[in-house]
Amino acid sequence: MEIGYFTMPSHPPECGLKEGHDWDLQTLRWLDELGYQEAWIGEHHTAPWEPHPSPDLILAQAFLQTKNIRLGPGGFLLPYHHPAELANRVAMLDHLSGGRLNFGIAASGLPSDWAMFNVDGMSGQNRDMTREALEIILKMWTEDAPWSYKGKYWTVNKPDVMFDFLKPHIKPLQPPHPPIGVAGLSKGSDTLKLAGERGYIPMSLNLNPAYVGSHWEAVEIGAAKTGRKPNRSDWRMVREVFVADTDEEAWRLSVGDMMGRMMNEYFLPLLGHFGFKDYLKANPNVPDSDVTAEYCARNNWIVGSPSTVAEKIEKIYHEVGGFGTLLVFGFDYKHKPEAWHNSLRLLKQEVMPRLNHLNPDMIRAA
């Protein structure tokens, strides 16, 4: 099993934008030093608790400050970008990364973002735009000029040579393109069906394992459409994780600190507005009012000493049928940086060696 990081990024509303940005860069440097495989940075436009509108600004700096870790948007919200412009920008970023870029894509799920960009998310327009944008981006990277694409939402031309030397010339460093990742939230996620259909990296967001189990079914349904055989070792699982020397300390630093605050003040109320709290319940009969940060910590989070955390990861691993990479959900601990760094260090150095026997390829073979 590999280990990585997934961050919205999350910062409390009183945090300055540069202050939060600097914390995210510090965390990425730590992840690189500790030997984490990858990190994904989200994009949001109207959420004060998720305040970064342009993950490529973090990534461009982070590639200069790290050596080995793979980094990527998690993901670019495709309905809000002109696909030709984004294709060129991502291709350039791939060159700046030295080939360490992952390309995460998403359809956008915040109604406030839909309103800002005049996208009808309630009808699924955001998902339709995502598929069309991705088709154009891939065409930009893989098909030589000249061609013209007339879609429902965008018309893009890739012209032939003009005036002897003007021509489209920007392509990614990694042929034919950087690895593509997509994140899924809802049961039977359509975006994860797309991952299976196209052979992309599927990422399951932080939900109850019973719901996450349906995510791999979605990947397999999508893969069946194109005759692919998906590999569980490609599957990323996003979880809230906090490791400390003792279970008591880990609980105090997670539920009793920024993880608990973010969940109670923002994430749980947001899911409640969408009717998504069911996704966090160990039992569907649990009232919504009982789904608190403490409830999530007991039932969904991976919190505790190294031995406790190793047991919880293995339990989730077997409940969902195996996965390849655990992605730690990012939080803002700049007020207690040593605690967050220690959690990341313990996870890598004390927990992961206890899980070396977990091999999703063996489950798939069985």
Residues 56-75: tens digit of each pLDDT: 999 999 999 999 999 999 99
Could you check whether the bond before residue 53 is cis, i.e. omega within 30 degrees of 0?
no
pLDDT value for 206: 72
pLDDT tens-place string over residues 41-55:
999 999 999 999 999
Looking at the predicted structure, is the pLDDT value of residue 143 above 80?
Answer: yes
Confidence check: pLDDT of 366 > 50: no
Tokens encoding 363: 């489950």
Average pLDDT over residues 67-92: 97
pLDDT value at residue 279: 82
For residue 113, pLDDT beyond 90: yes
The predicted pLDDT at position 214 comes to 82
Quote the pLDDT of residue 361.
Answer: 66
Judged against a pLDDT cut of 70, whether residue 362 lies above it is answered with no
* Measured distance between the N- and C-terminal CA atoms of the chain, rounded to whole angstroms: 17
Torsion of CA 215, 217, 219, 221, to 10 degrees: -140
Q: Which of 106-110, 188-192, 242-246, 278-282 has the lowest mean pLDDT?
A: 188-192
Q: Quick one: pLDDT band at residue 365, thresholds 50, 70, 90?
A: very low
Lowest mean pLDDT among 5-19, 71-85, 181-195, 321-335: 181-195
Q: Does residue 314 surpass a pLDDT of 50? A: yes
Please determine, for residue 188, whether its predicted confidence score (pLDDT) is greater than 80.
Answer: no
Q: Mean pLDDT throughout 86-104? A: 98
| pLDDT of 114 over the 90 cut | yes
Residue 180 pairs in a beta bridge with 103
The C-alpha atoms of residue 294 and residue 299 are separated, in whole angstroms, by 9
Between residues 151 and 366, which one has the greater pLDDT?
A: 151
Confidence of residue 178 (pLDDT cuts 50, 70, 90): very high
The per-residue pLDDT for 137 is 98
Share of the chain above pLDDT 70, in %: 98
* Closest C-alpha to 232, from 36, 355, 39, 363: 363
Q: What is the DSSP letter of 166?
A: B
pLDDT in tens, 222-270: 999 999 999 999 999 999 999 999 999 999 999 999 999 999 999 999 9
Alpha carbon distance 80, 72 (integer Å): 17
| Residue labelled with tokens 């088709």 | 135
- pLDDT score of 196: 95
pLDDT (tens digit, 9 = 90+) per residue, 344-355? 999 999 999 999
Judge whether 151 and 132 are in contact, CB under 8 Å.
Answer: yes
State the Cα–Cα distance between residues 107 and 76, nearest whole angstrom. Answer: 8
User: What residue has token string 């009793």?
Assistant: 256
CA distance 207 to 280: 5
The pTM assigned to this predicted structure is 0.95
